[in-house]
Structure 1
Amino acid sequence: MHLKSLMLAHASKKLEKEKSERDTERSRVLKEIVLQLNTSSLSVQELQNMCKKFHQMIDGVDAERYDIEVKVSKNAREIQGLTQKVLDLKGKFKRPTLRRVRVSADEMLDALAETSYKTSMDLRSNLKSVKKEDEKEHKQVGVHDWRKNVEAMSGMEGRKKKFDTGAPSQ
């Protein structure tokens, strides 16, 4: 605590010293730039000319200030557009920094076994189940008696009867 209070006291002294240096520098620069005016000995016409001169100087400074503001805003828009392009090229999301984790193979398998499937590793359980009743119905509909098919296709009733009875032909 004592060290902290000493550091804060030293920092406050430095801030006060810097502030006084800035004030003295500012006053020195203002004395160099701004000339001392003695208006008591000047006539009205000379005072008006001086005021016109000051107004012209002020207008020049305002024009410079406006030009600089326009340049700054243009550069800011350009920077914003370029950063947007960079973000679009990179992707919209920041990639998180990955930390290296040292895990042995056994620990990894244990962690996977705990968090993932605790059911049996029966591969047939993941297969699509098919109802056997539907298969039987489809097969019954598709199978016909072949003898009926032969009767319809033959057209020769007499010869077929001879084969059925087993009688020799004359």
Structure 2
Amino acid sequence: MADEDQTGARKMTHQRKMMLKSLMLNKAREDLKRETEQKAEEKKAALAKRIEPIGDIRSMSSQDLMDLCRELHAKIDQVDETRFDIEVRVKKNDQDIEDLNQKIFDLRGKFKRPPLRRVRMSADQMLRALLGSKHKVSMDLRSNLKSVKKGDAKKDDAEVKDWRDNVEAKAGMGGKMAMFEGAKE
């Protein structure tokens, strides 16, 4: 019997697969429709249980209308307070769940990696993001280099003579006088 089930499952035709698939989809649609109708009925029943009929507003006096408004405002305030309390409890429970999940990951030794996305960023943009408005440095390295003219290099060679000539010229009293006169100019 088991062999027949396996061979029968293998020999299922394309038409039969499509028919079964469509039947399953129809059944799922019906279940969803029935579920939504059931939820709508439950909602109506819950609202009917909570909501009291107001009555005929046209026949009420102004004092009765003012009392009705006060009652409605008090009920609205009470509902808002309970809603706020429930929101706070839900947020606290969500935080507790997140903390417990993190403890589970820590105990297992597996760390949850946050989803990262690739960002294309130039070096200037990266420095600006890290340093903020303090970033004034440009990453253009060639602009930061000292420019040297070819004519200046020849002057440097002409100025640099043999150091011994300089020492002999400045030696003695004549050399000190020459230094003094050179400083004047």
TM-score, normalised to structure 1's length?
Answer: 0.48
| Greater RCO (CA < 8 Å, at least 6 residues apart) | 2
Normalising by structure 2, what TM-score?
Answer: 0.44
Between Structure 1 and Structure 2, whose CA radius of gyration is higher?
Answer: 1
